[in-house]
Chain A
Amino acid sequence: MNIVVCLKQVPKKDSILRIAADGKWIDDRDLSYEMSEADAYALEEALRQKEKHGGEVIVICMGPERVRQSIKEALAKGADRAIHLYDEAFDHASDAAGIGRALAAALKDEKFDLVFTGLQSDDYGFAQVGLVIAERLGLSSATIAMEVQPEEGGVRVKRELESGWFQWVKIPLPALLTIQSGINQLRYATLKGIMAAKKKELREVKAADLGLTADDLKPAQVIERAYLPLKSKQTEMIEGKPAEAAAKLVEKLRFDARVL
């Protein structure tokens, strides 16, 4: 069972975010980064599958030099080798279509049974990159995967639906699954793993190696404005007899504030 895991590096969760001067995204000075949470679970799931069924775990990650830190972390945790899409041209790929296209191009010649992505990234949160890759590579796919059970001729996947419902589906291999956060327990990188990672293959891929140009990766969707949620405070007095007012309050809490 060979599994590819798509990793993204994102600003650390406890970062103090400021809007960049152009008002279009966050200011990336002084930020520290980490592996996007759902991707960390995807990696863990892949490592567990490998431990059960054998095979190879290959991680693929696109981004500037700093993303090597996350790649090395994946290798330290037990991935076998890594592909780093590292080229200024890839900076243009800033929407799901562009990112998916680049990753799919890099995976075209790889031999794998499964591709895992996180359900969505902690920064853009598109939740689409995985599906774009699946489409481009002609893979079957399932989203919001909670459990993965390889079987004869395919893979059984438990998917999360709304309101506490789940669904089991069986899809043929090769397949792409988008993995939900929290489905397993993340391992630590052991010091042995960290040192062993230094000797593992980390292949750098340029856009030209994939036959792609900056133009091919130009986003179809752009972010026009980024802003912090506005906090506003409104006070509303509910009139009437206590019982009526209480009923009205419950209704407002349930349907307007949606806290009940």
Chain B
Amino acid sequence: MTRTVETKEVLKGGSFLLEDHDAQEVFTPEDISDEHRMIAQTAREFTEKEILPRDEEIEAKNFDLSVELLRKAGELGLLSIDIPEKYGGMGLDLLSSLVASEQLSGQASFSGTLGAHTTIGTLPIVYFGTEEQKKKYLPRLATAELVGAYALTESGSGSDALGAKTKAVLTDDGKYYILNGQKMWITNGGFADLFTVFAKVDGEKFTAFIVERDFPGVSVAPEEHKMGLQGSSTCAVNLEDARVPVENVLGEIGKGHKIAFNILNIGRLKLGVSSNIGCKRLTSIATEYAKERHQFGVPIASFGLIKHKLAEMAILAYVGECMIYRTVGMIETTLDTVDRDIPEQALKAIEDYAIECSIIKVVASESLAYCADEAVQVFGGNGYSKDYPVERAYRDARISRIYEGTNEINRLIISGQMLRKATKGDLPVFQAAKKLMDELLSPSLSDDAGEGVFAAERAAIGNAKKAGVAVLGMAAQKYREKVQEQQEVLAAASDIIMEIFGMESAILRTEKLISTRGEADCSMQIEATRVFTNDALQRVEQHARRAIATMTEGDELRTMMSVLKRYMRFMPVDTISARRRIADSLIEAGRYNL
């Protein structure tokens, strides 16, 4: 196992809302080791040489080819990063797995196929399998001799995964479970050999099973007709008196939710990674086109409104990347304090960052939505045509906001987890809220701006954190155990938390860059951070106003609004000129270059 993130202070998941983290502690893309760089390079070359040239065949649902490509990826070790060496894998760290996912995501359908295999298709066995199950299945998953899939969703239970109707009943001889039910939307369903199926034992105890395609009673329905990801396989899986040997129960009976939710944390992070690199690609594609396409006698890239789009796409990709690497760094540091080879310990370490994983999933999928949409716009009528790549990108991107937990569900998780951690005493959110309320009563707020390139931004983020804490604190106090019913307020709090994480992650990485390269050599990163922060602060204010306005009224509302105004006082920066400069630099480079 490679240990690349040096031993550093463990930063608790969610703690960013309450504490300031140090730029030198933050992990950034610039910090990756030579080994990680090489893994990324192998993955990139594989994509360029093996996958992209076969794009048309993949999109035509040549699944034999998809499996053949999986096996080739397996030969290079790209499928076994997360599998321990003992079971035929590489046993590398999370960062290795993420840099590989990043570079293997160039063809969206195949990225879905490969991601489903390596993440939701393989990890349940890695983390929850018995010794026998691991020995039996992992070496063959590592080579894609067996292709994996994950069957949680049903027609009646998607977001409400625990509401599954699929039932498992033990046979009289105690040797088999008989499964009945139908699973929907199963990625790789058409050709997978192995499914992690969730079913309720006796209709009650939610449990996972390793189900082989060839078990009697297992059948796969025809391909769904999807909006995008045409080259990935998505089918319903039918279980009609399916006979599953008892040895194939995965994890404990009645503890299936642990598997379902824990695997999703990693899935969300990886989906964030592939969505975010999609933003970079679309920035490059749109920039290239905008340079070539002429209207009114000049390239459309020379128009301010097009520059705005190009710059915004790049800014979102940059900020997303800052969040992802920061999170991976925090997780790796925590993993270094436990025994990674003991699954419960590793999972617990990762689970502590559920908030960050959900943030990354939501932010990156929504950034991708923006980029795909604006890329179509930059292409104009051509963007609406199947002859150009962005039409497909637009359709392919749409799924990212739906699976691995819809963005609504993830928004509920972000502030929900914050509150849960606060209630359990893991994060002092309520103490911070109380301190804040006392501070509000004092006549003046100190605005001691610090030093450095981002002094003003840092001070403003400090205040934005207060707004976030205030909204969460008020919600907890007002709604108490019924807070889960106040989804709009929770989502507003989550939006504030996401903006804070984005702004701060960008500032930390850019500060670290400045400390190594000097200000002059990272002027675009500085501009991107400034523009994003400027706009995010305004969004924070809007979210806070909306939430506070529903939680208070009359004088209290008036007081809160004037406090909020004081907190959110921030001199606007000239984002128009800054975006133009970012766009000019993109246009000169002809691609994403932050």
Contact = CB atoms under 8 A, between A and B. Distances in A.
B47 to A, nearest CB: 11
B38 A72 contact: yes
Interface string B50-85: 000000000000000000000000011110110000
Given A73-B41, A188-B76, A189-B41, A194 B46 contact: no
A69 B81 contact: no
A238 B96 CA distance: 62
Given A16-B589, A30-B521, A73-B41, A191 B34 contact: no
A68 interface: yes
A72 B2 CA distance: 15
Contact of B38 (A16, A29, A30, A189): A189
A190 B37 contact: no
B34 A190 contact: no
A99 interface: no
Nearest to A192: B77
A112 to B, nearest CB: 26
Nearest to A32: B37
A70 to B, nearest CB: 10
Contacts of B589: 16
B522 to A, nearest CB: 9
Contact of A73 (B38, B78, B588, B593): B38
B471 to A, nearest CB: 41
Contact of B34 (A30, A72, A192): A72
A191 B45 contact: no
A69 B42 contact: no
B42 A189 contact: yes
Nearest to B522: A30
Contacts of B588: 16
A188 B75 CA distance: 10
B34 A195 contact: no
A228 to B, nearest CB: 14
Contact of B42 (A29, A30, A190): A190
B77 A191 contact: yes
B173 to A, nearest CB: 44
Which interface residue of A76, A194, A195, A197 has the most chain B CB atoms within 10 A?
A: A194
Interface in A55-71: 68-69
Contact of B2 (A30, A190, A195): A195
Nearest to B591: A14
Contacts of B347: none
Nearest to B520: A29
Interface residues of A, number: 17
B46 A188 contact: yes
B35 interface: yes
Interface residues of B, number: 24
B549 interface: no
A30 B523 CA distance: 12
A108 interface: no
A194 B521 contact: no
Contacts of A189: 38, 41-42
B161 interface: no
Nearest to A194: B38
Given A188-B42, A188-B46, A194 B75 contact: no
B39 to A, nearest CB: 6
B170 interface: no
Given A69-B34, A69-B37, A76-B38, A191 B521 contact: no
Contacts of A198: 35
Contacts, number: 48
Candidate in B46, B90, B588 with the most chain A CB atoms within 10 angstroms:
B90
A77 B555 CA distance: 71
Contacts of B77: 190-192
Interface in A184-238: 188-192, 194-195, 197-198
A40 to B, nearest CB: 11
B45 A188 contact: yes
Contacts of B246: none
Interface in A150-172: none
Contacts of B80: 191
Contacts of A195: 2, 35, 90, 92
A105 to B, nearest CB: 27
Interface in B513-542: 521
Contacts of A188: 42, 45-46, 76
A191 B46 contact: no
Contacts of B42: 188-191, 194
Contacts of A30: 521
A191 B76 contact: yes
| Chain A CB within 10 Å, residue with most, of B38, B77, B78, B96 | B38
Contacts of B90: 191-192, 195
A73 B45 CA distance: 13
A191 B100 CA distance: 10
Nearest to B36: A194
B352 to A, nearest CB: 28
A227 B37 CA distance: 32
Contacts of B78: 191
A188 B42 CA distance: 6
Nearest to B77: A191
Given A16-B589, A29-B521, A30-B521, A191 B37 contact: no
A225 B588 CA distance: 23
Contacts of B92: 191, 195
Contact of A194 (B35, B45, B590, B593): B35
A72 B41 CA distance: 12
A76 B77 CA distance: 13
Interface in A136-152: none
A192 B2 CA distance: 12
Nearest to B76: A190
A15 to B, nearest CB: 10
Nearest to B96: A191
Contacts of B76: 188, 190-191
A198 B76 CA distance: 17
Contacts of A69: 34, 37
Contacts of B593: 16
A37 B521 CA distance: 28
A16 B588 CA distance: 9
A195 B90 CA distance: 9
B81 A191 contact: yes
Contacts of B96: 191
B428 to A, nearest CB: 42
A30 B78 CA distance: 29
A194 B33 CA distance: 12
Query: Which residue, of A72, A191, A195, A198, has the highest number of chain B Cβ atoms within 10 A?
Result: A191
Contacts of A16: 588-590, 593
Given A188-B45, A191-B80, 11 more contacts: A16-B589, A72-B38, A73-B38, A189-B41, A189-B42, A191-B39, A194-B38, A194-B39, A194-B42, A195-B2, A195-B92
Interface of B: 2, 34-35, 37-39, 41-42, 45-46, 75-78, 80-81, 90, 92, 96, 521, 588-590, 593
30 contacts: A16-B588, A16-B590, A30-B521, A68-B34, A69-B34, A69-B37, A72-B34, A72-B38, A76-B38, A188-B45, A188-B46, A188-B76, A189-B42, A190-B42, A190-B75, A190-B77, A191-B39, A191-B78, A191-B80, A191-B90, A191-B92, A191-B96, A192-B90, A194-B35, A194-B39, A194-B42, A195-B2, A195-B35, A195-B90, A197-B35
The 7 nearest A-B residue pairs measured at CB: A191-B77, A194-B38, A190-B76, A188-B42, A72-B34, A191-B90, A190-B77
